Amino acid sequence: MTKDKEPGNNKSAPKSRKHPAKATDDASSVAGKGGELHQRAGGNYPPLTTSQGIPIPDNQNSLKANPRGPTLLEDFILREKITHFDHERIPERIVHARGTGVHGTFELTQSLAQYTTAKILTEVGAKTPVFARFSTVAGGAGSVDTPRDVRGFAVKFYTREGNWDLVGNNIPVFFIQDAIKFPDVVHSVKMEPDRGFPQAASAHDTFWDFISLTPESMHMVMWIMSDRTIPRSLRMIEGFGVHSFRLLDAAGNSTFVKFHWRPKLGLQSTLWDEAVKIAGADPDFHRRDMFEAIERRDFPEWELAVQLFTQEESEKFPFDHLDATKLIPEEMVPLQVIGRMVLDRWPENFFAETEQVAFCPANIAPGIDFSNDPLLQGRLFSYLDTQLSRLGSANFHQIPVNAPKCPFANHQRDGHMQMAHPKGRVAYEPQSLAPDSARESPASGFPSHATPENGDKGRIRAESFADHYSQARLFYRSQTPTEQAHLAFALVFELSKVAHLHVRQAMVGHLRHIDADLAQRVADGLALPLPEAPPAAAPVQDMAPSPALQIIGKMHDTLAGRAIGILVADGSDGALVAKLRKAATDAGAGVKIVAPKVGGVTLADGKLLPADGQLAGTPSVMFDAVAVVLSAAGAQTLSKEAAALDFVSDAFAHLKAIAASPEAQPLLDKANVVADAGVVAADDPKAFIVAAKTRQWQREPTVRTLP
């Protein structure tokens, strides 16, 4: 019998816990590390305990019968830890699983007291805490940030009159008119059920099959094929409440309202090739961008604006505003800015807050009310229902991120994970036993608009919902030529991934109703003879173009909140780097030094310049503009480096400004960079800043063939 098999040798176990470095072979390194970590942490740390509060003597070793013997079932510390771990995951959201949440504040700047009693919309200057969550729709919680996809834009206002959730998207319309189609559109875009791919992509057969058979989605298709769905940053997207809601005044009069969020930084998108490369370089690009902005106190900000209109005005619209596939052009009903939202606090714990936050369009404050939009009506059911299975209990409203910040009381009791312990014997109403127990408030409780309803019951789609193409045409024709080309390019890309010819044909058939030129461009891009257009359910109308629907028109020429990368190597001119860095930071940009090695480079004057990113892991897609400051030797070395060539050629192909030292020219030449207005001398920081504030759109035809 060897020594460690002797029963008496068990005595060594406690010893090994006290002296981890002396533990037996396999355990020693782990135990040793644990010991060192404790020593490094120092200070007054609280004792590690089980969830029952029992102090844990050793978090490195499970309880064994002897040092090399079996683990004991008795080890309640091990069992509790592993059991909890086994249950750490909850079901992810069926849609919008991947999200980024931030706390902030909403401040009302203009009162809507004329239209509503809601305090959140009438108390100018009042600051209301909010939690906003931005998301992609199709991918799972661990998917990348930059697929072509709608972005969710959900805001929970913790108002003094209860939680109001404005659960919107960065697109003002939706795929479908009736909630009964939601599972179908979602199933079609999600990974195909037999093969489990593609993840987070609409470019596949089932999605386009469904869409090609659903003409009502054509307007939304124009939006998702535009660059809106490949945003540069979550700080640079618009948000829309989509549906018409009602505002109610004290007399119960109703005014319709649509809600819009407008980013202070303006809109900004990536190019498709850029978005694809970002997905590989940094799958967390948007989450990291938001995190870093909050960390450096560059707080993202949005204006909240409303479109207000009466029932009578709505009857004159050439569309039905209760149809969620329609928007109201700003030129028809102007936007009024009524407040601003600033996001300034990153959650302390991602799971507790961003994952457990539960939005619901039915969470609404008195003075705001729903409309009859059938998509909204279905949503009013779906969200509470989904939280019950996702969060596992009817008490999910008690989770801190979901709990109202105003007092709340009712007679709902018990259930899984009840955290509250309501007092008293009365849990019903009406009652006469407890004078201080919660009662209904006929005068100040939530009022519903007394909408007169009539007509025949049935599974009916209103005739006023029949026009599926006019607003798709409006959107396409309102875009700049560059945006139209990108949209056609996106359609060609997506439909090229569709294997079924009849689906491609059907889609191009729909495009003929939208715009003949668009249909021709896409057909050419697919090498497809122009197919017949399907019958249209209603005549297609020409609406006056709405420039407000563009992205380019809403981009700001600015470096505020943007990022500049400066590529350096040994021998680079430090003074030039400093000059560029100062010019960029003065203009509001963040600057990162990119070098072949993360430790940095030795500059021409012998000083060390530390790097923020290593070249292979910090490609130019991470930046809005780049500078290349190299010595002749540095340029020669990097000319043999694929990552350096990609850094420069991608920046050029992605229409970014490039500032270069004269010695860097060989690298630029090898990367096929051709001189244009966006390629400037590094010793002219002013010219660089001007060029860096915008994309070099004029360059695009020289770097890619657009349909």
Closest CA to 277 of 641, 619, 563, 656: 619
Rounded to a whole number of angstroms, the minimum distance from the CB of residue 173 to ligand HDD is 8
Closest CA to 166 of 244, 263, 241, 96: 241
Q: Which residue is nearest to ligand HDD (CB)?
A: 152
Rounded to a whole number of angstroms, the minimum distance from the CB of residue 385 to ligand HDD is 7
Closest CA to 624 of 674, 688, 552: 688
Angle between helices 285-295 and 272-281 (to 10 degrees): 80
Tell me the DSSP string of 495-532. Answer: HHT---HHHHHHHHHHHHHH-HHHHHHHHHHHT-PPPP
Query: What backbone phi and psi angles, to 5 degrees, belong to 258?
Result: -120, 140
- Nearer to ligand HDD by Cβ, of 94 and 141: the residue is 94
Q: Report the helix count and the strand count for the chain, using DSSP H and E.
A: 21, 18
Instruction: Say how many Å lie between the first and final Cα of the chain, rounded.
Output: 80
The Cβ of residue 444 has, within 10 Å, a number of other Cβ atoms equal to 9
> In the beta sheet, which residues pair with residue 343?
104
Which amino acids are annotated as binding site, given as ranges?
Answer: 93, 133, 182, 379, 383, 390
Rounded to a whole number of angstroms, the minimum distance from the CB of residue 448 to ligand HDD is 21
User: Encoding tokens for residue 562?
Assistant: 């943007």
Q: Is residue 243 flagged as an active site residue?
A: no
List, in sequence order, every beta strand (DSSP E) within 109-200: 127-136, 151-159, 162-169
Q: Is 536 left (phi over 0), alpha (psi -120 to 50) or beta?
A: beta
- Nearer to ligand HDD by Cβ, of 93 and 260: the residue is 93
Q: How far apart are CA 162 and CA 501, in angstroms?
A: 52
Q: Is residue 253 flagged as an active site residue?
A: no
- Nearer to ligand HDD by Cβ, of 357 and 628: the residue is 357
Rounded to a whole number of angstroms, the minimum distance from the CB of residue 548 to ligand HDD is 19
Which amino acids are annotated as binding site for heme, given as ranges?
Answer: 93, 133, 182, 379, 383, 390
Longest distance between any two alpha carbons in the chain, whole Å: 96
- Looking up tokens 């509503």 gives 116
Alpha carbon 228 to its chain's center: 12
- Nearer to ligand HDD by Cβ, of 131 and 476: the residue is 131
Q: How far apart are CA 524 and CA 136, in angstroms?
A: 31
Going by their DSSP bridges, the two strands 590-595 and 601-602 should be labelled as: unpaired
Closest CA to 703 of 489, 425, 476, 392: 489
Whether the CA torsion 596, 597, 599, 604 is positive or negative: it is negative
Going by their DSSP bridges, the two strands 658-660 and 625-629 should be labelled as: parallel
Are 175 and 468 in contact by the 8 Å Cβ rule? The answer is no
Give the helix/strand (H/E) hosting 239.
strand 239-240
Whether the CA torsion 437, 441, 446, 449 is positive or negative: it is positive
Please give the residue ranges that form the binding site for ligand HDD (CB under 6 A).
Answer: 93-96, 99, 133, 135, 152, 154, 167-169, 174, 179, 182, 242, 324, 357-359, 375, 378-379, 382-383, 386-387
- In the set 61, 169, 363, 395, the catalytic residue is 169
- Nearer to ligand HDD by Cβ, of 95 and 490: the residue is 95
Are 622 and 629 in contact by the 8 Å Cβ rule? The answer is no
Q: How far apart are CA 646 and CA 649, in angstroms?
A: 5
Q: Active-site residues: which are they?
A: 96, 169
